Amino acid sequence: MTHDLVVANGTVVSPEQGRFEADVAADDGRISRIAAPGTLSSAGETVVDATDRHVLPGVVDPHVHHGLFRPLAEEADTESRSGLVGGVTTVGNIFRRGEPYAEVMDDYVAAAEENYRHDYFFTLGLLSDRHVAEIPDVVDEYGITSFKWYGNYKLQVAERFDLERNLLDDVADRFVRRLADLDGPTTLAYHAENAEITQRLSRDLREAGADGYEAIVEKFPGYAEAQAAVAGANLARQHGYDDDFYVVHVSSRRTASDIADLQSLGYGVTAETCTHYLALTCDECDQRMRINPPVRSQADQDALWCHLRDGTIDCVGTDHIANRRDEKVGEDIWDGRWGSPSSATMLPLVLSEGVHEDRISLERAAAVTSTNNAKAYDLYPRKGTVRVGSDADLAVVDLEETRTVTPDLLQSHADYTMYDGWTVTGWPTQTIVRGTLAFDRGDVVADPGHGTHVDRPLAGGST
């Protein structure tokens, strides 16, 4: 029997089953067979020889912002091209609009479907009571079950998005209750920031002439993240919301340790951190790393790795935003655009800084870059695992391959990277999206439009 594609002689890495040598076959986009190594190596229309390499579930980057500054039609194309270089097979694109989603989604969905090279799902920011009221329709019509609370915009949405009023806690209260009332699985992605504290500090620091990277670290202290995370978790518990209360981009040791305390008390909290908090410290940051929350100290970085290992933090994402350097970098640290591109370096940095530095195991790396993210967003077991019946989304990884990071290597629209000149060890040699070879030794071979939206809840339910 011939299979559409076979990945032969690799070592499969599965958070559920550990490591084992196998051939993996794909048909009609799904994994159809997992067999003894070498037994299927002549049975594929396309054969990827994975001898001496590891086969990981394709990276699920749960946190990207595509289409924020440029049209989604363009970003879906260029940023999925970049993602494939780093083994990404699915992204969660988080976006927000002031208008009702019923008015904007059709165009947005069409732009995505025609241009993504890998799979994707959406998380919608809820900025108003009207958005909250739209939740059931968004689930039914668009297969979107994840929503984001933008704590940082609390005092800004009226002006910034031309809305009647700001995003105060009464909206959060209704938002959480609405999600708790829904029958199906949902995810509440929560940006934890006490905006009253950060806005005041921001104003005071600017008036005092503070500049340099440390100014944006000081304006957003770790406790202003922790305080909001605890308050949000408390609201979720109050309303009996027992799906995924998911704190995005945890950056501080204070937040991570408070989340550990909440988890030990039985609060359901899922935590995500991003690769820049794991790979960088504020001492080495410049305007390229103008990200909210900011990159913090070595002590914060060390604590995040500990909590990633011990299970307090279960997910890694990137908060990827692609800009050109001249748009990104402003006159000083208060100027310029927030965010930085990083999907393509997500898995390589977790391998290089995590696995090779003995901070986490290879199985844990697969879990935090794929399996757990798929579970948190109800994509599992269609995504996030190497098993028969799941989508054949795979990253074939050479753990020993060392590369020097450059913007060219990463193939993003962005012409800079936070990791320029870094030596990183552990890169995908091939990326496979639903059984199709999408990236092959430096070349992105999947066309725009190969990717598709992952409708949720999954047919047949998720586990």
Residue placing its CB nearer to Zn ion in the complex, 193 or 319: 319
Minimum gap (Å) between residue 300 Cβ and Zn ion: 18
DSSP characters over 400-456: EEEEE--HHHHT-S-S--TTTT-EEEEEEEEEEETTEEEEETTEE-PPTT---B--S
Residue placing its CB nearer to Zn ion in the complex, 251 or 429: 251
Residue 453 amino acid letter: H
Minimum gap (Å) between residue 66 Cβ and Zn ion: 11
Q: Enumerate the β-bridge partners of residue 147.
A: 124, 188
Cα–Cα distance for residue pair 102/69, rounded to 1 Å: 21
Minimum gap (Å) between residue 338 Cβ and Zn ion: 9
Minimum gap (Å) between residue 309 Cβ and Zn ion: 24
Residue placing its CB nearer to Zn ion in the complex, 252 or 462: 252
Residue placing its CB nearer to Zn ion in the complex, 274 or 396: 274
Minimum gap (Å) between residue 273 Cβ and Zn ion: 12
Minimum gap (Å) between residue 63 Cβ and Zn ion: 6
Nearest Cα residue to 268 out of 187, 353, 209: 187
82, 410 contact by CB (below 8 A):
yes
Give kind and range of the element (H or E) at residue 18.
strand 18-27
Minimum gap (Å) between residue 390 Cβ and Zn ion: 27
Minimum gap (Å) between residue 385 Cβ and Zn ion: 25
Minimum gap (Å) between residue 345 Cβ and Zn ion: 16
Cα–Cα distance for residue pair 364/393, rounded to 1 Å: 18
Minimum gap (Å) between residue 392 Cβ and Zn ion: 29
125, 94 contact by CB (below 8 A):
yes
Q: Identify the three-state secondary structure at position 213.
A: helix
Residue placing its CB nearer to Zn ion in the complex, 319 or 440: 319
Minimum gap (Å) between residue 125 Cβ and Zn ion: 9
Residue 125 amino acid letter: G
Minimum gap (Å) between residue 68 Cβ and Zn ion: 9
Q: What is the 8-class DSSP label of residue 289? A: G
Residue placing its CB nearer to Zn ion in the complex, 86 or 426: 86
Q: What is the 8-class DSSP label of residue 66? A: -
267 is written with which tokens? Answer: 């609060």
Residue placing its CB nearer to Zn ion in the complex, 77 or 319: 319
Q: Enumerate the β-bridge partners of residue 316.
A: 273
Residue placing its CB nearer to Zn ion in the complex, 317 or 348: 317
Residue placing its CB nearer to Zn ion in the complex, 119 or 319: 319
Give kind and range of the element (H or E) at residue 360.
none
Nearest Cα residue to 368 out of 441, 307, 320: 307
Cα–Cα distance for residue pair 281/83, rounded to 1 Å: 24
Cα–Cα distance for residue pair 319/258, rounded to 1 Å: 22
Q: Enumerate the β-bridge partners of residue 93.
A: 64, 122
Residue placing its CB nearer to Zn ion in the complex, 225 or 319: 319
Residue placing its CB nearer to Zn ion in the complex, 260 or 291: 291
Residue placing its CB nearer to Zn ion in the complex, 340 or 385: 340
User: In the bound complex, which residue of the shown chain has the CB atom lying closest to Zn ion?
Assistant: 319
CA count, 13 A, side-chain hemisphere, 443: 4
Alpha helices in 210-297 (DSSP H): 213-219, 222-238, 253-264, 275-279
The residues that touch Zn ion, with contacts defined as CB under 5 A, are 319
CB contact set of 108 (below 8 Å; sequence gap of 6+): 67, 72, 95, 122
Cα–Cα distance for residue pair 147/124, rounded to 1 Å: 5
Cα–Cα distance for residue pair 408/403, rounded to 1 Å: 12
